[in-house]
Chains A and B, each alone.
Chain A
Amino acid sequence: GAGVSQSPRYKVAKRGQDVALRCDPISGHVSLFWYQQALGQGPEFLTYFQNEAQLDKSGLPSDRFFAERPEGSVSTLKIQRTQQEDSAVYLCAIPRGANVLTFGAGSRLTVL
């Protein structure tokens, strides 16, 4: 979506591989969110940043998932030792006004 660029758009990983997914919001956005959307499900909250501070990581499904935003702009979601159940679309979002999220196009991860 306009304002949020995600890469790669598609990633195929073998089980056990590490992956890194990138979110690049337009400059000046304080808040940034990561969501996971499995097939047939709605987006599920993963984690939330205000600038470089990770205020909430309660949605990360396991300690294999790690997110960072070291300079308060670009964020990276890293998944270590990927499993098949990690296959999903990973969506990055920024707020646009109260209660409105603008999502990026997502990174579709397939773990074989």
Chain B
Amino acid sequence: RKEVEQDPGPFNVPEGATVAFNCTYSNSASQSFFWYRQDCRKEPKLLMSVYSSGNEDGRFTAQLNRASQYISLLIRDSKLSDSATYLCVVNMGRYSGGGADGLTFGKGTHLIIQP
């Protein structure tokens, strides 16, 4: 089983709709969770961190369920510019339990917002 699993999609969603996708992780000792966004032929960039209590940033909401070992990303009122690949990222704490040295990326979920 891969350490971080995502549905690759593509998710084809009309503009203005709400879309959600999940990611599961295998290591129950994982400590930190993130969503990165990657535009076509560009590098990944941090979208948002995922906190235990859930967190919201504008139209984006991230949730963590430690018991079931999944995280989710919800996008409301989707825009054409939201079209991208969304990478689920989990810190397995490879070394000291913190920092960027244990980040494991999922394959990404491809989202296409249609006009």
Contact = CB atoms under 8 A, between A and B. Distances in A.
Interface of A: 1, 31, 33, 35, 40-45, 48, 55-56, 91, 93, 95, 98-101, 103-106
A45 B104 contact: yes
A42 B106 CA distance: 5
Chain A: interface secondary structure? strand
B65 to A, nearest CB: 19
B46 interface: yes
A95 B99 contact: yes
Contacts of A35: 105
Given A44-B105, A99-B49, A33 B43 contact: no
Q: How large is the interface on B (under 10, 10 to 19, 20 to 34, 35 or more residues)?
A: 20 to 34
B45 A1 contact: yes
Nearest to B91: A99
Contacts of A103: 43-45
A100 to B, nearest CB: 5
A104 B45 CA distance: 10
10 contacts: A1-B43, A33-B101, A42-B107, A43-B44, A55-B95, A56-B101, A95-B99, A99-B34, A101-B100, A103-B45
